[in-house]
Amino acid sequence: MTENMIENTSSNDDQEKIGVYVCHCGTNIAGVVDVVQVAEWAAKYLKHRGVVIAREYKFMCSSLGQELIEKDIKELGLNRVIVAACSPHMHEKTFRTACANAGLNPFMCEMVSIREQVSWVHTDKVAATAKAKAMISGGVERVRHNVPLEPIVVPINPATLIVGGGIAGIQSALEIADAGFHVYLVEREPSIGGHMAQFDKTFPTLDCSACILTPKMFSAGSHPNITLLTYSEVEKVDGYVGNFTVTVRKKARKLDEEVCTGCGICQEKCPRKVIDDVFEAGLGYRKAIYTPFPQAVPNRPVLDVANCTYYEKGTCKACEIFCAPKAIRFDQQDEILTLQVGNIVLATGYQLFDARRITNYGYGRLTNVFTSLEIERLTNAAGPTNGNVVLRDGKTAPKTVGIIHCVGSRDKNFNNYCSAICCMQSLKFAHLIHERTGATIYNFYIDIRAASKDYDEFYQRVLEEGTLFVRGKVAEITDVPRMESEKGKLIIQVEDTLVGKQRRIPVDMVVLSAGLEARSDSKEVAKTFGISCSFNGWFIEKHPKLDPIATMTEGIFIAGCAQGPKDIPASVAQGAAAAARVLGRIEQKQMALEPVRASVIEEKCSGCRICNGLCPFNAITFHEDRMVTEINPALCQGCGTCVAACPAGAITGTGFSNEQIMAQIDGLLMLNVEPEPVTA
């Protein structure tokens, strides 16, 4: 049964004036698709569907190409435009702007992809040309049902949330704060600083990491425009760009931060020693009440409830007894804060690949196999060994050291990607360990990745220092000797590919340059913020080449290793880039959102409530009094799930309406097109 109830926006063929523009894109399209024939075909065989003009041109996205469209709109009175060219993700904005310039509502313009989806992926020219025609027919049928739309304008709250207090997050926070706008910097650990605070020296300059980091940390901690929320985590994010409502759990430090002076007496007197497996990478101790490192910002300790005698037995209370300003608060509860921000930057960093997973390297089983982070702590002058590079016994300096690159990286069994920094880090270790101990250093590598400024020069320096390089992926590290000289040593079994021989190299200490991984909870974090992350857990950027710091979700940006492994200069650059983007948004004071939205036709809604549970953005509300459902257009993200789910067909969606899609299906199947006469 059919019924004339659907609003026919294209009721009369005569009213449609569609312009079809087929782009050659140089030879990118024209080399496979016969664009001239396609344009001629469109003019002839789609005429009765409203096409009044069809042109082909070498580069539609050029200013001349755009002018073609603008001219036709003005002179021929076009009311709909189809551009058959590259992907809409490339140039939809370009052509929509061109239409707007000529006075046509930009949403009356659609792109049909005949490059990424036709000429670049098919080799059969005849089939590709036929498919291009079908795609254009689909586009023409669809655009007949387009309606003029106006973007939704939302105000931008000038406050910003930055999640993650590592170098990228700190950089971002400082840039925005210096520009005069407020920043909330949320950090999960008790202090900001991130992984960089754990390092000793940074490559290639061998700057002391803490020396270059701590001034920034102090700036961030004392900046009037930065609210530092350490030992805190984001629990929930609601809202949309310009208007996010963020729920943050400020975990209880068990002390009053205002009253505490950071004198450190509580840590001194605390009788409970705990292995510090976060900051000290398991090599050192801290107390139950502790600051993670001396230069912590804020310089306020945290009470580790799980390891505290008072919480276990009700006794001790040494910290409270010795605290002069009486800052300890044993019954302090977590605080829930609600923040209103306009933009969010995620700079949550990385975690280290768990080297225990590679059992043949023996980490965790063989005593003197170390990870990169452990070496950072060893070499750090403020570390557990005061900067002395010694074996696990705490006193013996190694005489030979093997440093293994690509542990868990570039490895189909673990992580297939390159972790970007391990080669430079391994060279740094080679230099530092040799400097401190005079040991003979072997570096086992696949390739040496020393691509940035002064990186290769550093490599050459390390070469000149006498470091021995063996090209080969280490097969095994064992303590089972085969000859006298191997007794008491760790033997590295490796194929030296440049020499073409298997080698067994006995060393005292092995350093595993473990790769970088996304944080174990990155998928949950992505879900909380409404962004996507890849299979490996790295947050997905809007465009890998041209927009690495934005995400698909407006108002949420990413910076630093959370987006993928990178070194400190790149993290800083991304943090600054995210800040610049946010500042641009704040400056504009408002933002136009794509008007792809759903709305309920109230007369048709019978209040069945089937749609009510389908919206993750809480855009759908039910009015008990009227027994109808309503959709908030500002919260609606335009996914269209409710449009498809409504059993009464009472929900419509702009931009991807039922009429548009059904027409596109007809068009793709060439239902309304006369078949071309078969040439003998």
Partner 1 sequence: MTAKPKFAMYWAASCGGCEIAVLNTNEKILDVDANFDVVFWPVAMDAKYKDVEAMEDGSILLTLFNGGMRNDENEHMAKLLRKKSKILVAFGSCASEGCIPGLANFSDSREIVQTAYNTITTDNPNGIYPMTSYNMPEGEIHIPTILPVLKTLDQVVDVDYYMPGCPPESNQIAAVIDLVIQVVQGKAELPPKGSVIGAGDSTVCDECKRTRNVKTIKSFERIWGIAADPTLCLLEQGIPCNGPATRSGCNARCPIAGAQCIGCYGPAAGVEDYGARLISSFASVLDANEPEEIDRILDGLVDPAGQFYRFNLAGSLLRAGVPAWKKEKA
Partner 2 sequence: MTDSFEPTIIGFTCNWCSYRAADLAGTARIKYPPNVRLIRLMCSGRIDPTFVFKALANGADGVMITGCHPGECHYIEQNYKALRRFQLMRRTLQGFGVEPGRIRLVWASAAEGARFASEVTAFVEEVRALGPLHWGKNGTVPAIAAPATIQKEEVPA
Residues lying near partner 1 in the complex (CB under 8 A): 1-6, 603-614, 622, 627, 641, 644-650, 658, 662
Q: Is 599 in the site for partner 2 (CB under 8 A)?
A: no
Q: Is 596 in the site for partner 2 (CB under 8 A)?
A: yes
Distance CA 401, CA 396 (A): 13
Count CA within 13 A, CB hemisphere, residue 359: 0
Partner whose binding site includes residue 4, from partner 1, partner 2, none (CB under 5 to 8 Å by kind): partner 1
* Sequence-separated (6 or more) residues with CB below 8 Å from residue 199: 209, 376, 380
Pick the closest to residue 579 from 558, 564, 562 (CA basis).
Answer: 558
Q: Is 640 in the site for partner 2 (CB under 8 A)?
A: yes
Is the separation of the CB atoms in 299 and 266 below 8 Å?
A: no
Q: Is 24 in the site for partner 2 (CB under 8 A)?
A: no
Nearest to partner 2 of 33, 448 (CB atom) = 33
Nearest to partner 2 of 328, 615 (CB atom) = 615
- By DSSP bridging, strand 226-229 and strand 232-240 are unpaired
Q: Which stretch binds partner 2 (CB under 8 A): 253-261, 534-542, 554-562, 623-631?
A: 534-542
Q: Is 11 in the site for partner 2 (CB under 8 A)?
A: no
Distance CA 478, CA 55 (A): 71
Q: Is 595 in the site for partner 2 (CB under 8 A)?
A: no
Among 329, 527, 622, 635, the residue binding partner 2 under the rule CB under 8 A is 527
Q: Which of residues 277-316 bind partner 2 (CB under 8 A)?
A: none
Q: Which stretch binds partner 2 (CB under 8 A): 16-24, 96-104, 119-127, 566-574?
A: 119-127
Q: How far is the CB of 406 from partner 1 (least distance, A)?
A: 36
Token pair of 512, please?
Answer: 């595993």
Among 83, 533, 549, 593, the residue binding partner 2 under the rule CB under 8 A is 533
Among 89, 365, 609, 626, the residue binding partner 2 under the rule CB under 8 A is 89
Partner whose binding site includes residue 265, from partner 2, partner 1, none (CB under 5 to 8 Å by kind): none
Nearest to partner 1 of 2, 315 (CB atom) = 2
Partner whose binding site includes residue 609, from partner 1, partner 2, none (CB under 5 to 8 Å by kind): partner 1
Nearest to partner 2 of 475, 671 (CB atom) = 671
Q: How far is the CB of 535 from partner 1 (least distance, A)?
A: 18
Q: How far is CA 127 from the centre of its chain?
A: 39
Q: Is 398 in the site for partner 2 (CB under 8 A)?
A: no
Q: Which of residues 120-179 bind partner 2 (CB under 8 A)?
A: 120-124, 127-128, 130-131, 134-135, 138
Q: Is 540 in the site for partner 2 (CB under 8 A)?
A: yes
- Amino acid residing at 264: G
Q: Is 50 in the site for partner 2 (CB under 8 A)?
A: no
Q: Is 118 in the site for partner 2 (CB under 8 A)?
A: yes
Partner whose binding site includes residue 605, from partner 1, partner 2, none (CB under 5 to 8 Å by kind): partner 1
Q: How far is the CB of 5 from partner 1 (least distance, A)?
A: 4
Nearest to partner 2 of 269, 523 (CB atom) = 523
Nearest to partner 2 of 206, 596 (CB atom) = 596
Partner whose binding site includes residue 675, from partner 2, partner 1, none (CB under 5 to 8 Å by kind): none
Pick the closest to residue 139 from 90, 82, 91, 95 (CA basis).
Answer: 82
Partner whose binding site includes residue 540, from partner 2, partner 1, none (CB under 5 to 8 Å by kind): partner 2
Entry field: residues in the chain: 680
What single-letter DSSP state applies at residue 599? E
Neighbours of 75 (CB within 10 A): 10
Distance CA 384, CA 376 (A): 11
Is the separation of the CB atoms in 138 and 667 below 8 Å?
A: yes
Q: Is 417 in the site for partner 2 (CB under 8 A)?
A: no
Q: Which of residues 368-397 bind partner 2 (CB under 8 A)?
A: none
Give the residues across from 493 on adjacent strands.
476, 504
Partner whose binding site includes residue 124, from partner 1, partner 2, none (CB under 5 to 8 Å by kind): partner 2
Distance CA 510, CA 522 (A): 30
Q: Is 88 in the site for partner 2 (CB under 8 A)?
A: yes
Q: Which stretch binds partner 2 (CB under 8 A): 280-288, 324-332, 425-433, 649-657?
A: 649-657
Distance CA 633, CA 597 (A): 6
Q: How far is the CB of 606 from partner 1 (least distance, A)?
A: 4
Among 171, 191, 409, 637, the residue binding partner 2 under the rule CB under 8 A is 637
DSSP string, 419-430: -SSHHHHHHHHH
Among 212, 390, 641, 648, the residue binding partner 2 under the rule CB under 8 A is 641
Nearest to partner 2 of 131, 254 (CB atom) = 131
Q: How far is the CB of 523 from partner 2 (least distance, A)?
A: 6
DSSP string, 482-540: SSGGGTTSEEEEEEETTTTEEEEEEESEEEEEEPEEE-TTHHHHHHHHT--B-TTSPBP
In 180-292, beta strands by DSSP E: 183-186, 201-202, 207-208, 226-229, 232-240, 243-250, 273-276, 284-287, 289-290
Pick the closest to residue 234 from 173, 271, 183, 184 (CA basis).
Answer: 184
Nearest to partner 1 of 599, 641 (CB atom) = 641
Distance CA 432, CA 428 (A): 6
Nearest to partner 1 of 164, 653 (CB atom) = 653
The answer for 638, left when phi > 0, alpha when psi is -120 to 50, beta otherwise, is left
Q: How far is the CB of 126 from partner 2 (least distance, A)?
A: 9
Distance CA 339, CA 246 (A): 5
DSSP string, 100-151: HHTTS-GGGEEEEESIIIIITT---HHHHHHHHHHHHHHHHHHHTT-----P
Torsions phi, psi of 33, nearest 5?
-100, 135
- Tokens 């003005």, residue located: 74
Of the chain, the end-to-end C-alpha distance in Å amounts to 42
- 3-state SS, residue 472: coil
Nearest to partner 1 of 347, 646 (CB atom) = 646
Partner whose binding site includes residue 101, from partner 1, partner 2, none (CB under 5 to 8 Å by kind): none
Binding mask 550-579 for partner 2 (x = CB under 8 A): --xx--------------------------
Q: How far is the CB of 47 from partner 1 (least distance, A)?
A: 27
Report the interface residues with partner 2, using CB under 8 A: 87-89, 113, 115-118, 120-124, 127-128, 130-131, 134-135, 138, 523, 526-527, 530, 532-535, 540, 552-553, 596, 614, 616-617, 637-641, 643-645, 653, 655-656, 658, 661-662, 664-666, 668-671
